[in-house]
Structures are given as structure tokens and as C-alpha cells.
């Protein structure tokens, strides 16, 4: 038979605050994941639009993720990348020459950090309760962790500089999260 669960008193205001903060956090992260996604598409497209035939293009799972086949069939790189999902884009970044990956992300564009971004992005997109999500380990400022805090910092370090802190150092993802009392 089933064991009876221990009853823990829950205050509605506490639960409501947690849910409201989680939803607000997901909305902010979703916006910045969209920014990161478009940044990756634009960076790759700008670099290779005139050099479409490359050996490192990948074919992901599913018809919409067939980057290599679409390019070989005459699609522009931007058009081929536009249909790729976030996971396929991150996998494509991993296949780029090291110099191109470093131009986009510096030294923080490691396989582990890109994989961690995919897992967090999926949690955000599927409306999972973020504090309870099992996330991947990423490295931020030489510290490796799988916490939500570290994964949000990882997203920030992968973003183009103006989206990390804004124009005045008080905007971007850092400022948006601060407005909901999350300090990263």
C-alpha cells in the first residue's frame, strides 16, 4: 500500500510568491534565450553566407534540423539555420572551427556550457518549475555547478555583451532579473 505523506503546512502566500517568481524568471530567461538563438544564427550566417560549402555542417534529428542537406540543396545558410531548433544550433556551434566559436563566446563557449544552456532553455520552454529542475553542470568564473543560479549565470556569459548588463551596466539580463529581486 501507499505510505501516507508527511503533512507540511504551506502558507498560500509563500507558494504564490514562489510560483510568481518562477514564472517571472522564466519569462525573462525565455527572452534572453531567444536573443542568444538569434545571435548564434546571425553570427554563423554572417561568417559563412559566402562560403556555404563547409564540411562541418550537421544534420540534426527531424526534417527541420537538416542544416547540411538544406545548404546542399541550395538554401541560404540563414534559411537553413532559421528552421533549426535551439539544440541543433548549439550542436552546430560545437562543430564550428575553434576560432569561430571563440569569436562568438570567448572561452566560455565550451561543450558543457552549451549543453547546460540547452537543458535550461528546454526547462524554460516547457514551463517547468525551475527550482526543482535537474540541470547540467556548467562553468562560470572557473566554478563548476549544476545549480539554477550557475545556469542563469552561464546564459548571461553566453549572451553578447550588451545583453548581459545593458548599456549602462544596470540593464540586460542582470537588470531584468534584479527587477524581480534575483541577483546574479
Q: Can you read off the three cell numbers belonging to residue 36?
A: 542568444
> Is 113 within 8 Å of 137 (Cβ atoms)?
no
Give the whole-angstrom CA distance, residue 29 versus residue 156: 10
Count of residues making up the chain: 184
Q: Is the pLDDT of residue 21 over 90?
A: yes
53-to-34, 50, 73, 76 alpha-carbon distances in Å:
27, 9, 11, 11
What distance in Å separates the CA atoms of residue 155 and residue 29, rounded to the nearest whole number? Answer: 8
Checking if the pLDDT of 23 tops 80, the result is yes
Per-residue pLDDT band at 120 (split at 50, 70, 90):
very high
Q: Give CA–CA dist 104/98, Å, rounded.
A: 10
Do 11 and 48 form a contact (C-beta atoms < 8 A)? no
Query: How far is Cα 84 from Cα 67, in angstroms, rounded to an integer?
Result: 7
Mean pLDDT within 90-118: 97
Residue-level pLDDT at 142: 96
**pLDDT tens profile 128-180:** 999 999 999 999 999 999 999 999 999 999 999 999 998 887 899 999 999 99
The answer, yes or no, to whether residue 1 has pLDDT greater than 50, is no
Residue 3 has pLDDT above 70, yes or no: no
Q: What is the dihedral of CA 132, 133, 134, 135, to 10 degrees?
A: -130
14-41 mean pLDDT: 94
Distance of alpha carbon 181 from alpha carbon 57, whole angstroms? 41
Amino acid at each position: 500500500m501507499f505510505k501516507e505523506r508527511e503533512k507540511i503546512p504551506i502558507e498560500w502566500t509563500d507558494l504564490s510568491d514562489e510560483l510568481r517568481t518562477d514564472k517571472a524568471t522564466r519569462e525573462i530567461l525565455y527572452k534572453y534565450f531567444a536573443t542568444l538563438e538569434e545571435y548564434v544564427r546571425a553570427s554563423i550566417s554572417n561568417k559563412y553566407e559566402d562560403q556555404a560549402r563547409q564540411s562541418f555542417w550537421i544534420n540534426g534529428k527531424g526534417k527541420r534540423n537538416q542544416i547540411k542537406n538544406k545548404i546542399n540543396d541550395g538554401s541560404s545558410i540563414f534559411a537553413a539555420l532559421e528552421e533549426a531548433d535551439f539544440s541543433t544550433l548549439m550542436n552546430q556551434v560545437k562543430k564550428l572551427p575553434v576560432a569561430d566559436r571563440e569569436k562568438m563566446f570567448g572561452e566560455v563557449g565550451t561543450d558543457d556550457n552549451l549543453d547546460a544552456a540547452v537543458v535550461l532553455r528546454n526547462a524554460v520552454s516547457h514551463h517547468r518549475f525551475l527550482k526543482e529542475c535537474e540541470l547540467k553542470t556548467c562553468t562560470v568564473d572557473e566554478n563548476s555547478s549544476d545549480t539554477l543560479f550557475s545556469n542563469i549565470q552561464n546564459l548571461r556569459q553566453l549572451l553578447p555583451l550588451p545583453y548581459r548588463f545593458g548599456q549602462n551596466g544596470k540593464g540586460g539580463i542582470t537588470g531584468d532579473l534584479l527587477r524581480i529581486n534575483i541577483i546574479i
